Amino acid sequence: MIIKDKLYNKILPKVSKPGRYLGFEWNSVHKKERGGEEENKNRIKIALAFPDIYEIAMSHLGLKILYHILNGRDDVVAERVFAPWVDMEALMRDENMPLFTLESMTPVREFDIMGFSLQYEMSFTNILNMLDMAGIPLFTQERGNDDPLIIAGGPCAFNPEPLADFIDIFVIGEGEEVILEIIDEYKRVRSTFNREELLKSLAKIPGVYVPSLYTVSYKEDGSLEGINPRVSGIPERITRRIVKDIDNAPYPKDLIVPTIQVVHDRIALEIGRGCTRGCRFCQAGMIYRPVRERNIETLMSLAEEIEKKTGYEEISLLSLSCADYSRIEELIRELMDGYEGKEISISLPSLRADAFSVALAREVQRVRKTGLTFAPEAGTQRLRNVINKGVTEDDLLKAIDAAVEAGWQNVKLYFMMGLPTETYQDLAGTGELARKVAKIKKGLAVTVSVSIFVPKAHTPFQWVAQDTISTITEKIEFLKKNVRGKGITFNWHDAQLSFLEAVFARGDRRLSTVLFQAWKMGCTFDSWSEEFDYSLWEKAFHKSGIEPTYYSNRVRDLDEFLPWDHINTGVSKAFLKNEFEKALQGELTPDCRYDKCHGCEICREFRVKPLLSSRRGGDME
């Protein structure tokens, strides 16, 4: 095995964190080395790719779910491949070593399918770089019958257009629902392999979007006229796929236990999916509806099995908002009873800013009070109402009170700046709120983290403009002076990075050129501050003849065709418009779990109801 020898003897001794490139972790699946030649020839080989380093990739649950489902099939081999860090890339290119998978060290080019996970816009150049390192043509149009099929899914697939020229097929929605259908169709068509025919037949699978089979038409002013199928028999709008019966959905028990430390190095126990709190800036709150909770019995048996098979010492509950799980107190009690004696700790990320959440955190962190994070998001009640963040100053202060009383000595507060209708009064509110929090107890450390609002597709704010870089810079200067006081630390995000995120989050197909140019000029790992070089991006836009502010700083007309309008999340555009109008009036929309239905249409679209663990066996069938 040429790759292995070179890797062990020449490359790994020189590279930082060599463990990133070794796929022999506990529970990793090594079918390829074990299977016979004939058996392997008939298997569909899929490389699950994540366009960032190992530590980030291995912290992602979706990838683990797909790895588990795919390797559960005897006729499929799934292996992993992540972005080599810059030092590794340089050594690999020097040695002419192609991008290879972790498990069997096979060149990715030899796989049938390469599937990317799209979690954030600023990982897009890494996709191009990985394709290039693999020796796979970057553009869909340049790929032949011998090249792997390139698929992509994840939240960024909800606005797939900026990547449309590079990705053969996008999966819209929850991958575990679709992936085996894609494999089966691939298997059926592969004997008569013809790329065009394959793409046409895959495009018929619900939830699959094949961009090369759709034509984009433009108006004279450069805005979009529409995105329409150019062949018959494929849908005009691609409807997202969802898991309806989450309790019986496949869940990985034999999680890979990384050898090197990764960002989330613990058991992720997904307690539920979806959130209907309805924060108007939040894309996850729209694209993962409806709420579906796993049952406590299911969760307890999953936890037990995963713990035995991995040896992890920590179980972290996972959902968009853990405290909203309808039987959260009961779940925590059962977990604590079951695991405290075994020295296994329970952690609860993503808590709401209220005393109830603090009580939960107190329950699980009886001794180690590491720090609590709350996200009031905006400095004044007026602006919190605009974004429908249903939290009041009183809620927050009571939460901090409870935290202080329980023994916490540092809290983090997350805010966003540049929100629609924001004024300097709202920004001043950030500092005031931080000082009120810091005053609760002498010695309390308060870290205020301010990120820059990025309008996202499929949200009520999809029509608004992001603040210009110069406005953002002025506002940051203001906040630096304003968010001050005893015990207060102020952090803020990079304006230029957020600007680019805004460009790609609502970009269209014309941005493919920019991505290509930026990558050619050397942009990779843009979400890493030490690698991010904004001047290269400026050059890339200039060279492509594209004005980025058209995407980030332009207010869209409510009737304009948006580049993601052909992607149907199940939440209606009318609902988003209505929410936008209510936002401007500062009107709240309460959570439909505890209030009436507000007509987002998700339940009608998918013929489902919110599935709450507490209502199981009740009248919701």
Partner 1 sequence: MRIWSKFSKTGPAVFMSHLDLVRVMERSARRANLPIAFSRGYHPRPKLAFGPALSLGISSSGEYLDIELLGEMDLNEFIFRLESALPKGLNILKACKVSSNVKSLSSLIDTASYNVKVRYSSRGSHHVPLSYDDLKGELISFLELPEFFVERQVKGGKRRVINIAGLVEGLKISEHRSESILLEMLLPIGTRGVVRPEEVISAVFTKIEGIEFEIANIHRNELFITIQDGRRRISPIEYSFIVLENLSGS
Applying CB under 8 A, the span of 192-200, 306-314, 408-416, 417-425 interacting with partner 1 comes to 306-314
The single-letter DSSP state of residue 173 is B
Q: Return the range that interacts with partner 1 (CB under 8 A); candidates 12-20, 106-114, 126-134, 501-509.
A: 12-20
| Interacting residues with partner 1 between 427 and 486 (CB under 8 A) | none
Q: What is the rounded radius of gyration, in angstroms, for the C-alpha atoms of the chain? A: 24
- Is the Cβ–Cβ distance between 499 and 469 less than 8 Å? yes
Our CB check for partner 1 shows the closer of 14 and 237 to be 14
**CA gap 527, 570 in Å, rounded:** 30
Q: Are 389 and 436 in contact (CB under 8 A)?
A: no
Residue with Cβ nearer partner 1 (26 or 424): 26
Among 38, 146, 221, 343, binds partner 1 (CB under 8 A): 343
Q: Give the total of residues touching partner 1 (CB under 8 A).
A: 23
Alpha-carbon distance 607 to 596, whole Å? 18
Instruction: Please identify, using beta-carbon distances, which residue of 23 and 507 lies nearer to partner 1.
Output: 23
**261 forms part of the interface with partner 1 (CB under 8 A):** yes
What would you measure as the largest C-alpha separation in the chain, in angstroms?
73
- Closer CB to partner 1, 25 or 560, in the complex: 25
Which range of residues in 269-277, 304-312, 322-330, 419-427 is near partner 1 by CB under 8 A?
304-312
Q: Which residues of 81-99 are buried (b: 16+ CB within 10 A; e: fewer)?
A: bbbbbeebbebbeeeebbb
Tell me the closest approach of the beta carbon of residue 306 to partner 1, in angstroms: 11
157: which 2 tokens?
Answer: 């697939």
Using the contact rule CB under 8 A, the part of the chain among 145-153, 256-264, 401-409, 590-598 near partner 1 is 256-264
Distance of alpha carbon 293 from alpha carbon 122, whole angstroms: 31
DSSP type of residue 11: I
Pick between residue 314 and residue 334 the one whose CB is nearest to partner 1: 314
Of residues 15 through 44, those in contact with partner 1 by CB under 8 A are: 18-19, 22, 24-26
* Contact between 87 and partner 1 per CB under 8 A: no
Among 72, 135, 222, 311, binds partner 1 (CB under 8 A): 311
Q: At what angle do helices 424-439 and 393-406 cross, to 10 degrees?
A: 30
Nearer to partner 1, 337 or 343 (CB): 343
Among 312, 414, 478, 528, binds partner 1 (CB under 8 A): 312
Instruction: Give the span between the Cα atoms of 373 and 491, in whole angstroms.
Output: 14
Q: Tell me the closest approach of the beta carbon of residue 98 to partner 1, in angstroms.
A: 20
H-run or E-run covering 457: none
Tokens in use for 140? 């869909």
Choose which of 276, 310, 319, 552 interacts with partner 1 (CB under 8 A): 310
| Secondary structure tally for the chain: helices H, strands E | 23, 19
Structure tokens at 605: 């679209």
| C-beta of 368 vs 442, nearer to partner 1 | 368
| Sites for partner 1 among residues 355-414 (CB under 8 A) | 367-368
The secondary element (H helix, E strand) that includes residue 511 is helix 511-520
- Put residue 134 in one of left, alpha, beta given phi > 0 → left and psi -120 to 50 → alpha: alpha
With binding defined as CB under 8 A, does residue 309 bind partner 1?
A: yes
Q: Which of residues 196-255 bind partner 1 (CB under 8 A)?
A: none
**C-beta of 34 vs 480, nearer to partner 1:** 34
DSSP string, 92-127: HHHTTPPPB-TTT--BGGGSSEEEEE---GGGHHHH
Of 260, 284, 359, 440, which one interacts with partner 1 (CB under 8 A)? 260
Interface residues with partner 1 (CB under 8 A)?
Answer: 8-9, 12-13, 18-19, 22, 24-26, 257, 259-261, 308-313, 343, 367-368
